[in-house]
Amino acid sequence: MSELKKDPWGDNPWRNCSAGQPDQAAVTAEAKDFLDFRMVNIAFKFSFIGQVLMIIRKEPCFKVPTIGVRACGAAIIMGYNPYFIKWFKTNPEKALELDYIIYHEILHVVLHHVTDRRFGNNELANIAEDLAINCLIPTATKMLKIPVNEKGEMFGAHVESMKKIPCYAAMEPLKSADYYYDFLIKNTPPSENPGDGINPFDSHDEFGQNEIADEVIRNKVEQINKADLWGDVGAAERVLIMEAQIRRINWAAKIIHLMGQYDWRDREATRKRPNRRMKFLQPGTRALTVDKHLLAIDTSGSVDNSLLSKFLGVINQLQGDFYIDVMQFDCEKTSDPVPYERRKANFEFKGRGGTDFGPVFEMCKTRKYKSVIILTDGQAAAPEEPKLTRVLWVLPSKDYQPPVSWGEKVHLSQGG
Protein backbone atom coordinates (compact mmCIF):
# COMPACT_ATOMS: atom_id res chain seq x y z
CA MET A 1 0.00 0.00 0.00
CA SER A 2 1.29 3.45 -0.82
CA GLU A 3 2.26 5.91 1.88
CA LEU A 4 -0.62 7.68 3.61
CA LYS A 5 -0.72 11.43 3.20
CA LYS A 6 -1.89 14.01 5.69
CA ASP A 7 -5.41 15.07 4.87
CA PRO A 8 -5.37 18.80 4.01
CA TRP A 9 -8.98 19.16 5.10
CA GLY A 10 -8.61 17.93 8.69
CA ASP A 11 -6.92 15.39 10.92
CA ASN A 12 -8.04 12.23 9.14
CA PRO A 13 -5.67 10.63 6.58
CA TRP A 14 -6.73 10.03 3.02
CA ARG A 15 -4.85 7.93 0.52
CA ASN A 16 -3.58 9.21 -2.80
CA CYS A 17 -2.71 5.71 -3.87
CA SER A 18 -2.26 3.82 -7.10
CA ALA A 19 -4.67 1.28 -8.49
CA GLY A 20 -4.71 -2.18 -6.98
CA GLN A 21 -5.40 -1.45 -3.28
CA PRO A 22 -7.44 -4.08 -1.40
CA ASP A 23 -10.37 -1.74 -0.77
CA GLN A 24 -10.15 0.07 -4.12
CA ALA A 25 -13.34 -1.32 -5.67
CA ALA A 26 -15.46 -0.66 -2.59
CA VAL A 27 -14.12 2.88 -2.07
CA THR A 28 -14.53 3.71 -5.78
CA ALA A 29 -18.18 2.57 -5.79
CA GLU A 30 -18.88 4.45 -2.58
CA ALA A 31 -17.23 7.63 -3.89
CA LYS A 32 -19.09 7.42 -7.21
CA ASP A 33 -22.48 7.16 -5.50
CA PHE A 34 -21.71 10.05 -3.15
CA LEU A 35 -20.36 12.28 -5.94
CA ASP A 36 -23.44 11.53 -8.06
CA PHE A 37 -25.65 12.50 -5.12
CA ARG A 38 -23.81 15.81 -4.59
CA MET A 39 -23.97 16.63 -8.30
CA VAL A 40 -27.73 16.05 -8.37
CA ASN A 41 -28.00 18.27 -5.31
CA ILE A 42 -25.98 21.11 -6.84
CA ALA A 43 -27.78 20.78 -10.20
CA PHE A 44 -31.10 21.20 -8.36
CA LYS A 45 -29.83 24.32 -6.58
CA PHE A 46 -28.08 25.91 -9.58
CA SER A 47 -29.69 25.25 -12.96
CA PHE A 48 -26.75 26.71 -14.91
CA ILE A 49 -24.33 24.27 -13.28
CA GLY A 50 -26.78 21.44 -13.87
CA GLN A 51 -26.85 22.21 -17.59
CA VAL A 52 -23.05 22.19 -17.89
CA LEU A 53 -22.81 18.95 -15.89
CA MET A 54 -24.62 17.28 -18.79
CA ILE A 55 -21.45 17.48 -20.90
CA ILE A 56 -19.11 16.37 -18.09
CA ARG A 57 -17.93 12.78 -17.80
CA LYS A 58 -16.84 11.65 -14.34
CA GLU A 59 -13.91 9.25 -13.94
CA PRO A 60 -12.19 7.91 -10.81
CA CYS A 61 -8.46 8.54 -11.08
CA PHE A 62 -5.92 7.69 -8.40
CA LYS A 63 -3.28 9.87 -10.07
CA VAL A 64 -5.34 12.98 -9.31
CA PRO A 65 -4.55 14.15 -5.75
CA THR A 66 -8.04 15.57 -5.19
CA ILE A 67 -10.18 16.50 -8.20
CA GLY A 68 -9.62 18.17 -11.57
CA VAL A 69 -11.06 18.65 -15.04
CA ARG A 70 -9.43 17.96 -18.38
CA ALA A 71 -10.30 17.68 -22.07
CA CYS A 72 -9.75 14.57 -24.17
CA GLY A 73 -10.86 14.92 -27.77
CA ALA A 74 -14.40 16.26 -27.61
CA ALA A 75 -14.94 14.97 -24.05
CA ILE A 76 -14.72 17.03 -20.86
CA ILE A 77 -13.66 14.75 -18.02
CA MET A 78 -13.81 15.38 -14.27
CA GLY A 79 -11.24 13.12 -12.68
CA TYR A 80 -11.51 12.52 -8.95
CA ASN A 81 -9.60 10.58 -6.33
CA PRO A 82 -12.11 8.19 -4.74
CA TYR A 83 -10.44 8.42 -1.33
CA PHE A 84 -10.73 12.20 -1.43
CA ILE A 85 -14.46 12.05 -2.24
CA LYS A 86 -15.04 9.38 0.42
CA TRP A 87 -13.54 11.72 3.02
CA PHE A 88 -16.40 14.16 2.45
CA LYS A 89 -18.94 11.38 2.94
CA THR A 90 -17.39 10.51 6.27
CA ASN A 91 -17.44 14.23 7.18
CA PRO A 92 -20.99 15.27 6.23
CA GLU A 93 -20.58 18.72 7.78
CA LYS A 94 -18.13 19.41 4.94
CA ALA A 95 -20.53 18.43 2.13
CA LEU A 96 -21.20 22.04 1.10
CA GLU A 97 -17.46 22.48 0.63
CA LEU A 98 -17.49 19.64 -1.91
CA ASP A 99 -20.40 21.39 -3.66
CA TYR A 100 -18.24 24.53 -3.82
CA ILE A 101 -15.42 22.51 -5.42
CA ILE A 102 -17.78 21.04 -8.03
CA TYR A 103 -19.06 24.54 -8.86
CA HIS A 104 -15.43 25.71 -9.09
CA GLU A 105 -14.56 22.93 -11.56
CA ILE A 106 -17.55 23.73 -13.77
CA LEU A 107 -16.42 27.36 -13.99
CA HIS A 108 -12.97 26.21 -15.09
CA VAL A 109 -14.79 24.53 -17.96
CA VAL A 110 -17.13 27.37 -19.03
CA LEU A 111 -14.36 29.97 -18.79
CA HIS A 112 -12.24 27.76 -21.11
CA HIS A 113 -9.32 27.48 -18.68
CA VAL A 114 -9.25 23.74 -19.39
CA THR A 115 -9.18 24.03 -23.17
CA ASP A 116 -7.46 27.35 -23.88
CA ARG A 117 -4.53 27.78 -21.51
CA ARG A 118 -2.16 30.33 -23.07
CA PHE A 119 -0.10 31.68 -20.17
CA GLY A 120 3.65 31.15 -19.99
CA ASN A 121 3.96 30.78 -16.20
CA ASN A 122 1.87 27.84 -14.97
CA GLU A 123 2.10 28.76 -11.29
CA LEU A 124 0.81 32.28 -11.90
CA ALA A 125 -1.79 30.91 -14.32
CA ASN A 126 -3.17 28.59 -11.63
CA ILE A 127 -3.55 31.51 -9.20
CA ALA A 128 -5.01 33.86 -11.83
CA GLU A 129 -7.61 31.33 -12.96
CA ASP A 130 -8.68 30.60 -9.40
CA LEU A 131 -8.94 34.32 -8.62
CA ALA A 132 -11.22 34.76 -11.63
CA ILE A 133 -13.40 31.80 -10.67
CA ASN A 134 -13.78 32.21 -6.93
CA CYS A 135 -15.24 35.70 -7.40
CA LEU A 136 -18.12 34.13 -9.35
CA ILE A 137 -19.17 31.44 -6.86
CA PRO A 138 -22.30 32.53 -4.94
CA THR A 139 -21.27 31.76 -1.38
CA ALA A 140 -23.70 34.38 -0.04
CA THR A 141 -26.55 31.94 -0.78
CA LYS A 142 -25.17 29.69 2.00
CA MET A 143 -25.78 26.74 -0.32
CA LEU A 144 -22.01 26.54 -0.86
CA LYS A 145 -19.11 26.92 1.54
CA ILE A 146 -15.52 27.90 0.77
CA PRO A 147 -13.28 24.95 1.76
CA VAL A 148 -11.28 25.67 4.92
CA ASN A 149 -8.68 23.74 6.90
CA GLU A 150 -8.81 22.86 10.59
CA LYS A 151 -7.58 26.39 11.42
CA GLY A 152 -10.41 27.99 9.45
CA GLU A 153 -8.04 29.18 6.68
CA MET A 154 -9.54 29.23 3.17
CA PHE A 155 -8.23 26.96 0.48
CA GLY A 156 -7.57 28.42 -2.97
CA ALA A 157 -6.82 31.95 -4.17
CA HIS A 158 -9.33 34.68 -3.29
CA VAL A 159 -9.27 38.37 -4.19
CA GLU A 160 -10.31 39.48 -0.70
CA SER A 161 -7.32 37.63 0.78
CA MET A 162 -4.84 38.83 -1.84
CA LYS A 163 -5.89 42.46 -1.34
CA LYS A 164 -4.62 42.28 2.25
CA ILE A 165 -1.09 42.07 0.84
CA PRO A 166 0.09 45.66 0.18
CA CYS A 167 1.40 45.04 -3.35
CA TYR A 168 -1.98 43.58 -4.36
CA ALA A 169 -4.21 46.16 -2.64
CA ALA A 170 -5.41 47.56 -5.98
CA MET A 171 -6.59 44.16 -7.26
CA GLU A 172 -10.18 44.32 -8.50
CA PRO A 173 -12.84 41.61 -8.20
CA LEU A 174 -14.89 40.12 -11.05
CA LYS A 175 -12.14 40.23 -13.66
CA SER A 176 -10.83 37.70 -16.16
CA ALA A 177 -7.88 35.36 -15.63
CA ASP A 178 -5.97 37.49 -18.17
CA TYR A 179 -6.40 40.53 -15.89
CA TYR A 180 -5.21 38.69 -12.79
CA TYR A 181 -2.27 37.10 -14.61
CA ASP A 182 -1.07 40.49 -15.87
CA PHE A 183 -1.74 42.08 -12.47
CA LEU A 184 0.37 39.48 -10.66
CA ILE A 185 3.27 39.87 -13.10
CA LYS A 186 3.23 43.67 -12.86
CA ASN A 187 2.77 43.96 -9.09
CA THR A 188 4.69 41.04 -7.60
CA PRO A 189 8.09 42.16 -6.22
CA PRO A 190 11.02 40.04 -7.44
CA SER A 191 11.59 38.68 -3.93
CA GLU A 192 7.95 37.61 -3.44
CA ASN A 193 6.10 34.46 -4.48
CA PRO A 194 2.35 35.09 -4.95
CA GLY A 195 1.70 31.41 -4.29
CA ASP A 196 2.98 31.54 -0.71
CA GLY A 197 0.20 30.69 1.71
CA ILE A 198 -2.21 29.52 -1.01
CA ASN A 199 -3.34 25.90 -0.63
CA PRO A 200 -4.96 24.68 -3.85
CA PHE A 201 -7.81 22.19 -3.65
CA ASP A 202 -7.86 21.02 -7.28
CA SER A 203 -5.47 20.02 -10.04
CA HIS A 204 -4.73 22.17 -13.10
CA ASP A 205 -2.06 19.81 -14.40
CA GLU A 206 -3.90 18.83 -17.58
CA PHE A 207 -5.10 22.27 -18.68
CA GLY A 208 -3.99 23.01 -22.22
CA GLN A 209 -5.19 23.64 -25.77
CA ASN A 210 -8.08 21.64 -27.24
CA GLU A 211 -10.05 23.34 -29.99
CA ILE A 212 -12.61 20.52 -30.36
CA ALA A 213 -13.63 20.46 -26.69
CA ASP A 214 -13.40 24.25 -26.60
CA GLU A 215 -16.10 24.43 -29.28
CA VAL A 216 -18.28 21.89 -27.42
CA ILE A 217 -18.18 24.12 -24.33
CA ARG A 218 -18.90 27.25 -26.33
CA ASN A 219 -21.92 25.63 -27.99
CA LYS A 220 -23.29 24.52 -24.61
CA VAL A 221 -22.98 27.98 -23.07
CA GLU A 222 -24.59 29.59 -26.11
CA GLN A 223 -27.44 27.08 -25.83
CA ILE A 224 -27.90 27.97 -22.15
CA ASN A 225 -27.89 31.66 -22.98
CA LYS A 226 -30.44 31.35 -25.80
CA ALA A 227 -32.79 29.30 -23.61
CA ASP A 228 -32.20 31.59 -20.61
CA LEU A 229 -31.22 28.71 -18.34
CA TRP A 230 -28.93 30.85 -16.16
CA GLY A 231 -31.01 30.46 -13.02
CA ASP A 232 -29.61 32.62 -10.23
CA VAL A 233 -26.38 33.60 -12.03
CA GLY A 234 -26.04 37.39 -11.63
CA ALA A 235 -25.77 39.87 -14.49
CA ALA A 236 -22.09 40.69 -13.87
CA GLU A 237 -21.23 37.00 -13.72
CA ARG A 238 -23.12 36.35 -16.96
CA VAL A 239 -21.14 39.07 -18.72
CA LEU A 240 -17.82 37.50 -17.70
CA ILE A 241 -18.92 34.04 -18.76
CA MET A 242 -20.24 35.25 -22.12
CA GLU A 243 -17.09 37.29 -22.78
CA ALA A 244 -15.10 34.09 -22.29
CA GLN A 245 -17.03 32.55 -25.20
CA ILE A 246 -15.54 35.03 -27.69
CA ARG A 247 -13.39 33.05 -30.08
CA ARG A 248 -9.75 33.92 -29.72
CA ILE A 249 -7.43 34.39 -32.63
CA ASN A 250 -6.01 31.16 -34.02
CA TRP A 251 -2.48 32.50 -34.38
CA ALA A 252 -1.24 29.73 -36.62
CA ALA A 253 -4.15 30.18 -39.04
CA LYS A 254 -3.83 33.97 -39.00
CA ILE A 255 -0.12 33.91 -39.74
CA ILE A 256 -0.49 31.23 -42.41
CA HIS A 257 -3.14 33.41 -44.06
CA LEU A 258 -0.75 36.37 -44.02
CA MET A 259 2.23 34.42 -45.36
CA GLY A 260 0.32 32.34 -47.86
CA GLN A 261 -0.45 28.64 -47.68
CA TYR A 262 2.59 27.14 -49.32
CA ASP A 263 4.27 23.82 -48.69
CA TRP A 264 7.81 24.99 -49.36
CA ARG A 265 10.41 22.64 -50.71
CA ASP A 266 13.92 23.42 -51.80
CA ARG A 267 13.39 21.80 -55.19
CA GLU A 268 10.47 20.73 -57.39
CA ALA A 269 9.99 18.29 -60.25
CA THR A 270 10.10 19.56 -63.85
CA ARG A 271 9.96 17.93 -67.27
CA LYS A 272 12.11 20.73 -68.68
CA ARG A 273 15.22 19.27 -67.06
CA PRO A 274 16.44 15.72 -67.68
CA ASN A 275 16.74 13.37 -64.73
CA ARG A 276 20.44 12.75 -64.04
CA ARG A 277 19.91 8.98 -63.94
CA MET A 278 16.88 8.36 -66.15
CA LYS A 279 17.30 11.29 -68.56
CA PHE A 280 13.92 12.36 -69.99
CA LEU A 281 12.14 9.16 -68.89
CA GLN A 282 11.67 10.71 -65.44
CA PRO A 283 11.31 14.42 -64.54
CA GLY A 284 14.29 16.30 -63.23
CA THR A 285 14.26 18.96 -60.51
CA ARG A 286 14.81 22.69 -60.28
CA ALA A 287 15.54 25.01 -57.40
CA LEU A 288 12.70 27.04 -55.95
CA THR A 289 12.78 30.72 -55.11
CA VAL A 290 11.55 30.86 -51.50
CA ASP A 291 9.74 33.80 -49.91
CA LYS A 292 11.04 35.06 -46.60
CA HIS A 293 9.09 36.51 -43.67
CA LEU A 294 10.14 38.71 -40.77
CA LEU A 295 8.96 38.68 -37.16
CA ALA A 296 9.86 42.03 -35.53
CA ILE A 297 9.61 42.36 -31.74
CA ASP A 298 9.23 45.79 -30.15
CA THR A 299 11.43 45.75 -27.00
CA SER A 300 11.01 49.44 -26.19
CA GLY A 301 10.59 50.70 -22.64
CA SER A 302 6.82 51.08 -23.12
CA VAL A 303 6.44 47.32 -23.56
CA ASP A 304 6.41 45.64 -20.12
CA ASN A 305 7.62 42.15 -19.24
CA SER A 306 4.13 40.64 -19.21
CA LEU A 307 3.59 41.74 -22.80
CA LEU A 308 7.00 40.41 -23.81
CA SER A 309 5.98 37.11 -22.20
CA LYS A 310 2.82 37.07 -24.32
CA PHE A 311 4.89 37.91 -27.38
CA LEU A 312 7.03 34.85 -26.67
CA GLY A 313 3.84 32.79 -26.47
CA VAL A 314 2.83 34.05 -29.91
CA ILE A 315 6.26 33.27 -31.32
CA ASN A 316 6.05 29.71 -30.00
CA GLN A 317 2.68 29.18 -31.69
CA LEU A 318 4.15 29.69 -35.15
CA GLN A 319 3.76 26.43 -37.04
CA GLY A 320 4.61 25.25 -40.53
CA ASP A 321 7.63 25.12 -42.81
CA PHE A 322 8.05 28.84 -43.40
CA TYR A 323 11.31 30.70 -43.73
CA ILE A 324 11.03 33.16 -40.85
CA ASP A 325 13.62 35.54 -39.45
CA VAL A 326 13.29 37.21 -36.03
CA MET A 327 14.65 40.65 -35.17
CA GLN A 328 14.29 43.04 -32.22
CA PHE A 329 13.99 46.81 -32.29
CA ASP A 330 13.22 49.83 -30.15
CA CYS A 331 14.28 53.23 -31.54
CA GLU A 332 16.76 51.32 -33.71
CA LYS A 333 17.57 47.78 -34.69
CA THR A 334 18.72 45.98 -31.50
CA SER A 335 19.38 42.59 -33.08
CA ASP A 336 19.95 41.42 -36.63
CA PRO A 337 17.36 39.08 -38.17
CA VAL A 338 18.15 35.46 -37.34
CA PRO A 339 16.32 32.28 -38.41
CA TYR A 340 13.37 31.46 -36.18
CA GLU A 341 13.66 28.37 -33.95
CA ARG A 342 10.30 26.81 -33.21
CA ARG A 343 9.34 26.16 -29.58
CA LYS A 344 12.19 28.28 -28.30
CA ALA A 345 12.20 27.88 -24.52
CA ASN A 346 13.81 31.22 -23.72
CA PHE A 347 14.24 34.49 -25.56
CA GLU A 348 16.68 37.20 -24.51
CA PHE A 349 15.11 40.61 -25.11
CA LYS A 350 17.38 43.57 -25.82
CA GLY A 351 16.84 47.29 -26.08
CA ARG A 352 14.23 49.00 -23.83
CA GLY A 353 14.61 52.45 -25.40
CA GLY A 354 12.07 54.44 -27.45
CA THR A 355 10.18 53.08 -30.47
CA ASP A 356 10.73 53.65 -34.17
CA PHE A 357 9.29 51.38 -36.86
CA GLY A 358 11.65 52.80 -39.49
CA PRO A 359 14.42 50.19 -39.00
CA VAL A 360 11.90 47.37 -39.40
CA PHE A 361 10.60 48.55 -42.76
CA GLU A 362 14.10 49.44 -43.94
CA MET A 363 15.07 45.83 -43.21
CA CYS A 364 12.00 44.62 -45.14
CA LYS A 365 13.06 46.71 -48.12
CA THR A 366 16.72 45.65 -47.97
CA ARG A 367 16.08 41.92 -47.58
CA LYS A 368 12.84 41.87 -49.60
CA TYR A 369 10.69 40.15 -47.01
CA LYS A 370 7.29 39.08 -48.31
CA SER A 371 5.56 39.85 -44.99
CA VAL A 372 6.36 41.23 -41.55
CA ILE A 373 4.65 40.51 -38.23
CA ILE A 374 5.24 43.36 -35.77
CA LEU A 375 4.63 42.59 -32.10
CA THR A 376 4.20 45.99 -30.47
CA ASP A 377 2.05 48.25 -28.32
CA GLY A 378 1.85 50.65 -31.28
CA GLN A 379 3.19 53.65 -29.34
CA ALA A 380 5.33 55.36 -31.97
CA ALA A 381 5.21 57.73 -34.93
CA ALA A 382 3.54 56.48 -38.12
CA PRO A 383 6.00 54.89 -40.56
CA GLU A 384 5.78 54.99 -44.34
CA GLU A 385 3.78 52.12 -45.82
CA PRO A 386 5.99 49.50 -47.50
CA LYS A 387 5.22 48.80 -51.13
CA LEU A 388 6.06 45.11 -51.42
CA THR A 389 5.70 43.75 -47.88
CA ARG A 390 2.44 42.70 -46.21
CA VAL A 391 2.10 43.82 -42.58
CA LEU A 392 0.42 42.25 -39.54
CA TRP A 393 0.27 44.32 -36.34
CA VAL A 394 0.01 42.20 -33.17
CA LEU A 395 -1.10 44.34 -30.21
CA PRO A 396 -1.70 43.68 -26.47
CA SER A 397 -5.46 44.27 -26.40
CA LYS A 398 -8.29 46.14 -28.11
CA ASP A 399 -7.20 49.25 -26.17
CA TYR A 400 -4.08 49.47 -28.36
CA GLN A 401 -4.00 50.40 -32.04
CA PRO A 402 -1.21 50.71 -34.63
CA PRO A 403 -0.19 54.26 -35.58
CA VAL A 404 -1.42 53.70 -39.17
CA SER A 405 -4.59 52.57 -40.92
CA TRP A 406 -2.91 50.12 -43.28
CA GLY A 407 -1.97 46.51 -42.61
CA GLU A 408 -3.90 43.81 -40.76
CA LYS A 409 -4.15 43.81 -36.98
CA VAL A 410 -4.97 41.33 -34.21
CA HIS A 411 -5.06 41.62 -30.42
CA LEU A 412 -3.60 39.26 -27.85
CA SER A 413 -6.65 39.66 -25.61
CA GLN A 414 -9.99 41.42 -25.44
CA GLY A 415 -8.67 43.96 -22.95
CA GLY A 416 -8.98 44.36 -19.18
- Express each pLDDT in 201-255 by its tens digit: 888 988 988 889 999 999 999 999 999 999 989 888 998 899 888 766 555 556 6
Mean of per-residue pLDDT scores for the chain: 82
Whether this prediction's pTM lies above 0.85 is answered by: no
- pLDDT, residue 15, reads 46
Percent of the chain past pLDDT 90, that is, above it, reads: 41
Taking 60 as the threshold, does the pLDDT of residue 63 lie above it?
yes
Q: Which of 76-85, 305-314, 395-404 has the highest mean pLDDT?
A: 76-85
Best-predicted range by mean pLDDT (192-206, 317-331, 359-373, 396-410): 359-373
The per-residue pLDDT for range 315-330, each reduced to its tens digit, is 665 545 567 888 889 8
Q: Where is average pLDDT lowest: 7-16, 121-130, 344-353? A: 7-16
The amino acid present at 267, given as its one-letter code, is: R
Express as a percent the part of the chain with pLDDT over 70.
75
Confidence band, pLDDT 50/70/90 cuts, at residue 342: low
Measured in Å, how far apart are the chain's first and last C-alpha atoms?
49
Strand order in the sheet with 75-80: 56-60, 75-80, 67-72
Q: What is the side-by-side order of every strand in the sheet holding 333-339?
A: 333-339, 324-329, 293-298, 371-375, 390-395, 408-411
User: pLDDT of 117-131, one tens digit each?
Assistant: 877 788 899 999 999
Band of residue 347 on the pLDDT scale cut at 50, 70, 90: low
Domains parsed from the chain with CATH numbers: 24-243 (no CATH), 251-261+286-411 (3.40.50.410)
- Check residue 285 and give its pLDDT: 64
CB-side neighbour CA atoms (13 Å) of 134 = 25
Look at residue 300 in the predicted model and tell me its pLDDT: 78
Higher pLDDT, 199 or 342: 199
Asked whether residue 1 carries a pLDDT value surpassing 60, the answer given is no
- Is the pLDDT reported for residue 14 higher than 60? no
Question: Which of 50-54, 294-298, 365-369 is the most confident on average?
Answer: 50-54
Contact at 8 Å (CB) between 357 and 375? no
d(CA 160, CA 54): 32
